[in-house]
Amino acid sequence: MTLRVVVLAAAVAAIIAPGAAFADAASAGACAQKLAPDARQIYDATAPQVTPGVDLKSVVTTATKKLAMAGTISRGDARSSAMSAVQCLQQLQK
């Protein structure tokens, strides 16, 4: 009986977990739609690298520096744009 309960609980967790991840990705995407253009550039450049446990600050900082140095985003607004993008990117780590 106990083994049956454990197997059932594992099956339910396997079914629910991908749905929860999809919901977080969907909410992150909806959040990104509301970002200013520079922040959206940072989000788009960083999102594929965001996974649970990744050092988000490092990933965002690297992407932001590359975009700013390339002239893709405003250097003067880079920090505030990155902070805005992080609000959405954090939802991908859930």
Which helix (H) or strand (E) element contains residue 71?
none
Give the pLDDT of residue 70.
Answer: 97
pTM for the model stands at: 0.75
> For the ranges 18-22, 63-67, 85-89, 90-94, which has the lowest average pLDDT?
18-22
For residue 13, is pLDDT > 70? no
In tens, the pLDDT along 35-64 reads 999 999 999 999 999 998 899 999 999 999
**Torsion (CA) 51, 54, 60, 62 in degrees, nearest 10:** -120
Domain span holding position 52: 2-93
In the chain, the number of structural domains is: 1
Q: Using CB atoms within 10 Å of the CB of residue 28, give its burial: 0 to 12 exposed, 13 to 18 middle, 19+ buried.
A: buried
What 8-state DSSP symbol labels residue 73?
Answer: S
Question: Confidence class of residue 12 from pLDDT cuts 50, 70 and 90?
Answer: very low
Which helix (H) or strand (E) element contains residue 46?
helix 37-46
Residues 6+ apart with CB under 8 A from 80: none
